[in-house]
Amino acid sequence: MRTTIKWGGAVVLSAAFLMACQPASEPDPAQDSGHSSNSSEPAMSSVADAAAPDSASLEPNPALLAAINHPNRPEAQRRRDAFRNPAETLSFFDVQPDMRVVELSPGGGWYSEILGRYLKDNGQLIAAHWDMSGEVSDMYRRIRAGFDERFSNPDAFGEIEVLPFNPPERSDLGSPGSADRVLSFRNMHSWARDGALPAVFDAAFDVLKPGGVMGIVSHRLPADRPRDPDYRSGYIHEDEVIELARASGFELVARSEINANPLDTADHPNGVWNLPPSLRVADGDDKDYAAIGESDRFTLKFQKPDA
């Protein structure tokens, strides 16, 4: 049975099933060596070449810009705008203020901060967040506690509905055909690591209305680069995501380079976590990772076909 949390004046905590996989959003606790130099996996085929062409982002509407520029939005979050391009990204996904929007694994709530304010009057934000009932690290418990505290104010963010999401064991995102948008930001690698991406795409497809959109931003591994076997670098092939989304029934309708970063070579010892904002740099590594900026990312817009 799906358990949800709706904030009105108080936070109601729920019990859920045992957590079977690592929470799928950043920051990631994994400390690994990045790409495996011994991987024998061939580079992905160029499925992306046959996909829909790039599409220019729509002009952000005033309500979205007001949410992004709200005076109570933390300065630390604003500093990430130059890399994450929230106005252009949410406009590209055509997120409107009267929509029912599911955000998958929102972590500390960087995008929730914007979406909550944007949707609070006429729409609904559903945060499909970590299942906290099982064995979860202290770091993730701290992040989730911060999320719960930050977004418990309905006057600022509306009554955000929170439900446990731990695919494939718990992947119910709501009543079938009830959502206008499902959004995922920098999460694909974690679900791929656990073999859960098919369940994620199936759940998104099920909850979306016909014509609804799934928007994805994720760390891009160059197409000719073999990935590390466990996705520990955080990078993933764009073509792999496209293939799996199509297997669940989605159509790729547009792609964008809004969140591209040509300075990112995607071959760092600690993967994406060498880069801002994590900057997990080993002693003796004097490379200026801050100068690179955040990771190179693909931005994909999928649609559930009309009935």
Name the residue ranges covered by the structural domains of the chain. 53-260+297-303
**Which helix (H) or strand (E) segment is 164 a member of?**
strand 161-164
CA atoms within 13 A on the CB side of 38: 1
pLDDT number for residue 30: 35
Element (H, E) at 216: strand 208-221
Q: What pLDDT does 307 receive?
A: 73
Give yes or no for a contact between 302 and 51, defined as CB atoms under 8 angstroms apart: no
Nearest to 14 by CA among 165, 163, 137: 163
- 166: number of Cβ within 10 Å: 27
Is pLDDT larger for residue 274 or for residue 307? 274
Contact 101, 135 (CB under 8 A): no
DSSP state of 50: G
**pLDDT confidence band for 38 (50 / 70 / 90):** very low
Quickly name the fold that domain 53-260+297-303 has.
Answer: Rossmann fold (3.40.50)
Q: 227-274 pLDDT, tens per residue?
A: 988 999 999 999 999 999 999 999 999 999 999 999 999 999 999 999
Instruction: Give the list of residues 6+ apart from residue 134 with CB closer than 8 angstroms, or none.
Output: 16, 17, 18, 19, 20
Place 24 in a pLDDT band, splitting at 50, 70 and 90. low
